[in-house]
Amino acid sequence: MKRISAVLLIMLMLCPNLAFAEEPQVLRTITKEYEFNTKSFDFEYTQGASFEPPEEITEDGAIYKFKSIVYELITQKELFLTEQVTFYHEVENKGMVEKDETIFEEIIQINDESFEGEAVLKEVTYAENVIKDRTASTTESYDYGFQSSKPIPPDTLDVLYHDESSNSDVLTKLNFVKLNESNAQWEDNIHVEQTYRSIYVDEYLLNDGTRLVFNCDQPEYEGFEDVLLEHMRLKKENYRIVGSKWIGDIKTSEGQTTRIAQYTVNRYVKEYSAVYSGSFELPNILTYDATAHYVGDIEKQVPDGIDYTVKAIVTYEEKPIPIKKNLTPVIAGTTGGVIGLCGLVFFLIKKRNKE
C-alpha cells in the first residue's frame, strides 16, 4: 500500500499545473487640450458643465479613457447688452428776474458711463419766488481833490445805489468812516498881486520896515518871504514864493509913488478823500426758478456677465486589453496523465490481490 501511495504522489507531481500567472500590462497616458468659452466662472468638470470632454478617444489604434482634467483661464471680457430706454433730464436756473426760455438749449447731449444719446427740450416750467429782507452794503469815497488845508467831512453822505437784481436805484445814507490823505506836493497855481505905495520915489517899505527899491528888474522876495506871506495873509507852513514880476510902470501922483507887484506862490497841498460806508435795505423782488424738462430715447449699456476663454487640459489613460490563454494542450495532457495514473493504480491493486 505504501508503494501505491508513493507512486500516486510521483504521478501527481508530473501532471501539468493548471494555474498560470499573467504578466502586468504597462498603460500609456496622453493629454489633449481643448479651448472653449463660458459665462460661468465654475470650470469644474461636472455633468452638464460648460465643457464636457469625450469619455473615450482613439489614438493610433489604441483606446484611451478619461482620467483627469485641469483648467487654465486665458482671457475674460465683460459683456454688455444695448437697450433703448426713454431718458428724462432736468436743468434748473434759479433766481431769474424775468421768464426767458431762450437761455436753455433745444437739444442736449447725454454721454456718461451708462447712457448715450440726445434729449430734446419739451417744456420749461416756472416757480415764482418773492425774495424779502434783502440788504446790501457799500463803501463810497468822496474826493476833495488837492487842498492846502484839511477838510471837515459831514457825518453822512447821500448816495444812489443801483440794485442789479431789481434793476432799480436805492437812495441811502452812508456814515463817515475816515479821511484819507495822500500825494502831498507843492504846486504853483496861485498868483498874488500886491500894490506898494511910498512917499519915496525910489523905495517902498514892508510891514516890518524893510526897505525895497522900486527900480529893480523884479520885486525882491528872497530873504523876505515870511513878511510878504504874512502881508498876503498866507501861512508860511503851507505857502512859498517862487517868483515875482512888476505889473505896469512906476506911477507918481500927488507926492506918492505907486507900483504893482505880482508874486507866484506855491502852496503845499494834499489829496483828500472821505470814506463812507454802511448797510441798508433793498426792495422785495419777484424771481422765477425755471426748470427745463428734456426727454429722449437713448441707448443704455446693460451688463451681461463675463465671457471667459478657458483651456481644458485633459489626461487620458490607455484602456487595458484582456489576455486570452490556449488551454487545449494542457487539458489534453492532464487528461492523459489522469487516465494513465488510473490504469497504473488498477494494475497495482490487481497484482496485490494475486499475491
Task: For 254-302, write each residue's pLDDT tens digit.
Answer: 889 999 999 999 999 999 999 999 999 999 998 999 999 999 887 777 7
SS3 call for 112: coil
- Closest by alpha carbon to 182, among 140, 145, 152? 145
241, 233, 296: which is closest to 263 by C-alpha? 241
Q: Which residue has the cell 486570452?
A: 324
- Cβ atoms of 225 and 239 within 8 Å: the answer is no
Cβ–Cβ under 8 Å, residues 84 and 110: no
Coil, helix or strand for 284? coil
**Coil, strand, or helix at residue 92?**
strand
The residue among 215, 180, 183 whose CA lies nearest residue 196 is: 215
Q: Is the Cβ–Cβ distance between 284 and 132 less than 8 Å?
A: yes
Written as tens digits, the pLDDT of the chain (355 aa) is 545 454 444 454 444 444 444 556 788 899 988 888 887 767 665 444 556 788 888 988 889 999 888 888 888 888 877 777 787 889 999 988 889 989 999 998 887 766 778 889 999 999 999 989 999 999 999 999 999 889 999 999 999 999 988 888 999 999 999 999 999 999 887 899 999 999 999 999 998 889 999 999 999 999 999 999 999 999 999 999 999 999 999 999 988 999 999 999 999 999 999 999 999 999 999 899 999 999 988 777 778 888 888 888 989 988 887 665 554 444 445 555 545 554 555 555 566 655 5
Question: What is the rounded distance in angstroms from the CA atom of residue 30 to the CA atom of residue 66?
Answer: 10
Q: What is the distance between the alpha carbons of residues 138 and 275, in angstroms, rounded to a whole number?
A: 11
pLDDT recorded at residue 347? 57
Give the angle 128-134-137 at the CA atoms, nearest 5°.
145
How far separated are the first and last CA of the chain, in Å rounded? 13
Q: Give the CA angle between residues 193, 199, 205 to the nearest 5°.
A: 50
